[in-house]
Chains A and B, each alone.
Chain A
Amino acid sequence: MKRSRHHPAYWAFLVHRISGVALALFLPAHFWFLGSALQGAAAMDGLLRWTDQPVVIAGEWLLVMLLAAHLAGGLRLLALELLPWREWQKTLAALAAAFALLAGFAFALAR
């Protein structure tokens, strides 16, 4: 990667963009799964059993992390763009990363 990109705001951008694209690609699958309830709880349960595979659980965990990262990174962006400027960019990026890790940890403990 170009050396001019070696700083936290750029990493925050990359995480935000990649998580955003991943979430947008996941949404149709998510909606399709929930739509299975139209065929009744049994149909939905059938799909839920498929999600018990370890690799799917790992995927779920990743998605929760991505969602938390996109949320926290987005709040960071709103603060940078809409609030009066402060020299807190690195603090905001660190807080966003911490929030994503925390959410991932909570999900891993709960699942």
Chain B
Amino acid sequence: MSARREATLWLAQRGTAMILAACVVVHLATIIFAVRGGLTAAEILERTRGSVAWGAFYSVFVIASAVHGAIGLRTVAAEWLGFRGDAAEVTVTFIGFALTVLGLRAVVAVVGG
């Protein structure tokens, strides 16, 4: 594990954290606004369908979450499970990609269609 890679991942974790901080503030506000009177699919989709702004916002949110979550899980796996090395790197990379794909599929579902 090179010092440079660890430093880069650390920086990526902080960089995505700053992006996510802004995203999560918007997300929490949206959640608290949206749940009033109960959630319906029509209400959710009316807000998001065809909206370039929500599409861009959620795409950034998804990618930043996937990177941030994967790096975080990598650290937890190393420290709490002793799961380190190549197998761990491959696993967390897969998790990051899987979260990105699942997340972007969700963005397409609520914004497109």
Contacts and interface: CB of A to CB of B under 8 A. Distances in A.
Please tell me whether chains A and B touch each other in their complex, using a CB distance cut-off of 8 A. Answer: yes
Report the interface size class on chain A: 35 or more
A44 B49 CA distance: 14
Contacts of B105: 31, 35, 38
Report the interface size class on chain B: 35 or more
Q: Is the interface of B mostly helix, strand, loop or mixed?
A: helix
Interface string B93-105: 0000011001101
Contact of A71 (B25, B41, B42): B25
Interface in A59-79: 64, 67-68, 70-71, 74-75, 77-78
Interface of B: 14, 17-18, 20-21, 24-25, 27-28, 31-33, 35-36, 38-42, 44-45, 62, 65, 69, 72-73, 76, 98-99, 102-103, 105-110, 113
